[in-house]
Structure 1
Amino acid sequence: MAQKTVLVAGATGLVGYAALKHFSQAPDCEVIALSRRSPPGIKARHVTLDLTDAAACRDAAASLSHVTHLVYAALFELPGLVDGWRDDRQIETNGRMLSNLLDPLLKAATGLRHVTLLQGTKAYGVHVRPLAVPAREGRSDMREQPNFYWAQEDYLRGVRAARTWCFTILRPVLIIGEAIGGAMNLIPALGAHAAVMRQRGPILPYPGGAERVSQAVDADLLARAIAWAGDADAARDQTFNVTNGDVFSWPNIWPAIAEAVGMQPGPDEPFLLQSLGSADWDSVRQRHALLSPALADFVGLSLEYADYQMRYGHTEPGSPAIVSTIKLRQAGFHEVMDTELMFRKWFKLFQHQRLLPPP
């Protein structure tokens, strides 16, 4: 008999899929994947569900009565991505999705013990202002900036009152991992760009703008932080930043990325990744007999996200985007990872799965 049953909402996304893989391998743990499409390669019960459909969520809740832990990693993003981060429709839809699921789940799953909610550095206004370095939980929050984080968090705290279950809010930085067609996964985006460039020669110029010191987090490390938070007393009703533990800038790490895809770094050559041609990618797929889909299905909105992250068009260095992880470490989660090795790891996985060309 499983000691706990983990429901992963948004199981095909970057965070959800990493959590699904982790809990699927955990002893004494049943895991249920909740998403509109089935996650690939994972032996877990799957519930097909559109979280914007309140009636469907109510109908599904009865079959989820034994859930003890909810990992809420579902996300609605508007086309245009960056502009959508301040759009009222995005705020309303993401808030409604959480309540559509959790309202009936709280009635059905009387043994619920923990909810994990994901936020990010937009809680500190990184998309609209320079961060106070380092940004700290509860001290640097930008509540005055409309954000679906606040709609979800306020709702969660409201339904948490006078109940026995608890929650943890995690704020990862740039997440790198395994997902196809997502809004914010840079491996397919950078990998597709590099593969097209490689057909023209062995040099991979850095395509972004002026550097900014920032941080990233490995999706598998984040999944282990989610698992820790679900059982740690020190994580009850707390908010934590999560990073790999080091810092990086894109120009500094670009030679490692070039090597990982079998190329050599060259002089900077700004290039808008959003302009990458689907026909060029189709040529790469055919030449290498790849299993990856057409460009739009492979990268989702991640080309735009890559341009944003690498600061395409910016000619002056950006303000550092650094968060503090002291609170997380003092609470008991101490894992770290070298960000350069992280990028190498995920490019290697995509190559092994024949989603990107071999190096």
Structure 2
Amino acid sequence: MPVQQVQSKGIYHGLPVYEEDAGLTAIITGANGISGHYMLRVLSEDPKRWKRIICLSRRPPLLAGGMPQNSEHISCDFLQDPKEIASVLKQRGVVADHVFFFSYIQPPPKSGSKGIWSDAEELITPKRFMLQTGAKNYGVHLGPTKVPQEESDPRVTLEPNFYYPQEDLVDEYCKNTGCGWNICMPGPILGAVPDAAMNAAFPLAVYATVCKKLGQPLAFPGDINSWQMNQSMSSSMMNAYMEEWSVLQGPPNQKYNTCDSSAFAWEKCWPRVAGWYGLEFKGPQDDAQYMVSEPLFVPRGYGPKGS
């Protein structure tokens, strides 16, 4: 039975030790977003394994100290004509063993359009293609979902979701080329990246800073249900480690939930956030024996379609 060596890096433990792979080339799309930024950081930790990391995005990633030596940026907009994209990549000699696809946009659906990857599908034939989608795969943005959320759950089709045509396109592409695919689905993602504000940590930090300036306590803006509800989020760095593993050692043609296994409730987290800023905190109002709250969504399977 093979033995897997593991290692620790900072607060991250049980990370696999890779011994065989060397001299690999990777493409990271959306490299200036939260997920792509941390993917670049993780891959650049081992320049022997990843000799060339090609970052495709409209703007270069903003890393402290500049781009790693084993990486390069190519300005590329996946909403351009496919021929224009192909011309740019061919001029730069772009080939890759693995693709990490993070480009994120939800344009109004067009008839016959399968999404932004369709503009680049014929340019490369990697060994493995990793597509990151997310918890919206389960319809969490539309209302309550069945739990546990499992990768084999049926699609939620109450409204268009660009994850699904992307998945179909990647599956079709991989069947035609023999490339393996992996789809990773994190929960709400936390990370610190310039110009990438789709991140729960940023508005919370701004709110706490304003409270500090005004000399006010950090008041929780929700009800008792939100205060005590279990929350699950995804660390950008841990997510990137998981996605590196998925293409190097994970079986092909598999979907993975990649949410951290460290659930929390604001009831315990909120006082700690306040403490980081030297603030008192206020939880939900508790001066009444009974409270009435109006939920944002109707119970699952009842009532009209949510908006």
1:28 to 38, 43, 49: 49
Counterpart-to-counterpart distance in 1, 2:199 and 2:189: 7
2:260 to 224, 238, 244: 244
Matched ranges for 1:317-356 at <5 A: none
Counterpart-to-counterpart distance in 1, 2:297 and 2:157: 23
TM-score by length of 1: 0.66
Matched ranges for 1:49-88 at <5 A: 49-54=76-81, 55-62=83-90, 63-77=92-106, 87-88=108-109
Q: Report the 3-state secondary structure (helix = DSSP H, G, I; strand = E; otherwise coil) of the residue aligned with 1:180.
A: coil
Mark the CA change 1:149 to 1:215 in structure 2 (over 3 Å): closer, same or farther.
same
TM-superposition CA deviations, 1:289-333 (whole Å, max 9, x none): xxxxxxxxxxxxxxxxxxxxxxxxx6559899xxxxxxxxxxxxx
Counterpart-to-counterpart distance in 2, 1:261 and 1:33: 36
Mark the CA change 1:15 to 1:72 in structure 2 (over 3 Å): closer, same or farther.
same
- Once superposed, what is the RMSD of the aligned Cα atoms? 2.8
Counterpart-to-counterpart distance in 1, 2:217 and 2:104: 36
TM-superposition CA deviations, 1:3-29 (whole Å, max 9, x none): 211111000111100101111112321
Larger helix share, 1 or 2: 1
Mark the CA change 1:65 to 1:267 in structure 2 (over 3 Å): closer, same or farther.
closer
**Long gaps (5+) in structure 2:** 1-20, 286-292, 300-307
TM-score by length of 2: 0.76
Identity of aligned residues (%): 23
Q: How many residues align?
A: 261
Counterpart-to-counterpart distance in 1, 2:154 and 2:241: 25
Counterpart-to-counterpart distance in 2, 1:58 and 1:162: 19
Aligned to 2:116: 97
Counterpart-to-counterpart distance in 2, 1:148 and 1:228: 25
Counterpart-to-counterpart distance in 1, 2:295 and 2:40: 40
1:121 to 130, 135, 145: 135
Contact 2:138/2:153 (8 A) holds in 1 = no
Matched ranges for 1:293-312 at <5 A: none
**Long gaps (5+) in structure 1:** 79-86, 107-111, 270-313, 321-359
Structure of greater Rg: 2
Matched ranges for 1:1-359 at <5 A: 3-26=23-46, 27-29=48-50, 30-41=52-63, 42-43=67-68, 44-54=71-81, 55-62=83-90, 63-77=92-106, 87-88=108-109, 95-106=114-125, 112-143=126-157, 145-182=159-196, 184-201=198-215, 203-209=217-223, 210-211=225-226, 212-234=229-251, 236-268=252-284, 315-316=294-295
Structure 1 segments, 4+ long, off by >4 Å, are 314-320
Residue 164 of structure 1: how far off its partner (Å): 2.7
Contact 2:143/2:298 (8 A) holds in 1 = no
Q: Report the 3-state secondary structure (helix = DSSP H, G, I; strand = E; otherwise coil) of the residue aligned with 2:245.
A: helix
| Greater Cα offset, 217-226 or 162-171 | 162-171
TM-superposition CA deviations, 1:240-282 (whole Å, max 9, x none): 101110322334321122222332222448xxxxxxxxxxxxx
Greater length-normalized contact order (CA 8 Å, ≥ 6 residues apart): 1
